[in-house]
Amino acid sequence: MPVNATVFAQLMALVDKEELKRCIDRYDGNALVRSFNCLDQFLCMVFAQLSEKRSLRATVFSLQCMQNKLYHMGIRGTVAKSTLLDANSKRDWRIWRDYSQSLISKARVLYQDEGIQVDQEIKVAVYAFDSSTVSLCLSVFEWARFRKSKAGIKLHTQIDLRGIIPVYLDITEALGNDVKGMDGLHLEPGSFYLMDRGYLDFFRLYKFTLNGAFFVTRAKDNTRFNRLYSKPVDKNTGLIYDQTGVLLLKKAGTIIPKSCVA
């Protein structure tokens, strides 16, 4: 690395360019491209992320102000708003999906021996799963309307707590129910999944049992649970109670055996 290399160039030296090239070639990302290739697009978007730019206009304006430094940053193509806009809207999004998955795999290997904050002795994978509504500008994203004067999407995210690494992302309409995001989860046998009460759907949760996985969630206020017996617990560990009982499903008129630990 040259001694006069920019900080940005030094950071980008850590990027696996060969893996990125394989992802680009897999989907012919540079087909019919004259000057602004996928690597230029990637570097521009990384710059926007690192410098916390909130719009395409702000990203391009900042890059154009550093015109004499772009070459040393690794950007060879001409940076323009229309060029970057076309690249983001027309090039195959699977390039970046595949590359991000390769980075996630490498990151998980690096953190596989790290302890989890809640308990350093936990050796199995522990995931947190939740969804967030991301607000968008209605005049720009008319297809994402979910209120009279607002637009948005719902981002479902699964995070590996060993390293705080996102391992699964899904984007749906903002009007969709959070619990539908569980349908795309790849359940790993022996792993734990932490979710809030918004995901209390027993038919979907039963899939965890079928796949040998475990879930931790909270009961809703209207959950009907009949205790059969209680086990002794050490409250110094943070447990309040450990009970085995049955869940009463009023609509179905049936009962489902279930253990409850809190």
| Pairing between β-strand 242-249 and β-strand 225-231 as defined by DSSP bridges | antiparallel
Q: What is the pLDDT of residues 86-108, one digit of tens each?
A: 999 999 999 999 999 899 888 88
Position 120 scores a pLDDT of: 57
| Pairing between β-strand 254-261 and β-strand 242-249 as defined by DSSP bridges | antiparallel
Q: At what angle do helices 38-50 and 81-90 cross, to 10 degrees?
A: 110
Q: What is the pLDDT of residues 52-69, one digit of tens each?
A: 998 899 999 999 999 999
DSSP type of residue 119: B
Between residues 248 and 48, the one the model is more confident about: 48
Beta strands per DSSP E along the chain: 126-136, 151-160, 165-173, 192-194, 214-216, 225-231, 242-249, 254-261
Task: With cut-offs at 50, 70 and 90, classify the pLDDT of residue 4.
Answer: low
Lowest mean pLDDT among 9-13, 28-32, 123-127: 123-127
Q: How far apart are CA 194 and CA 158, in angstroms?
A: 9
Q: What is the pLDDT of residues 20-43, one digit of tens each?
A: 999 999 999 999 888 899 999 999
Which residues touch 201 (CB under 8 Å, ≥6 apart)?
179, 182
Q: How far apart are CA 191 and CA 125, in angstroms?
A: 5
Tokens of 253: 């008129």
Compute the average pLDDT of residues 177-191.
89
Say whether pLDDT at 206 is over 60. Answer: yes
Q: What is the CATH number of domain 111-218?
A: 3.30.420
Q: What is the reported pTM?
A: 0.73
Asked whether the beta carbons of 53 and 59 are under 8 A apart, the reply is yes
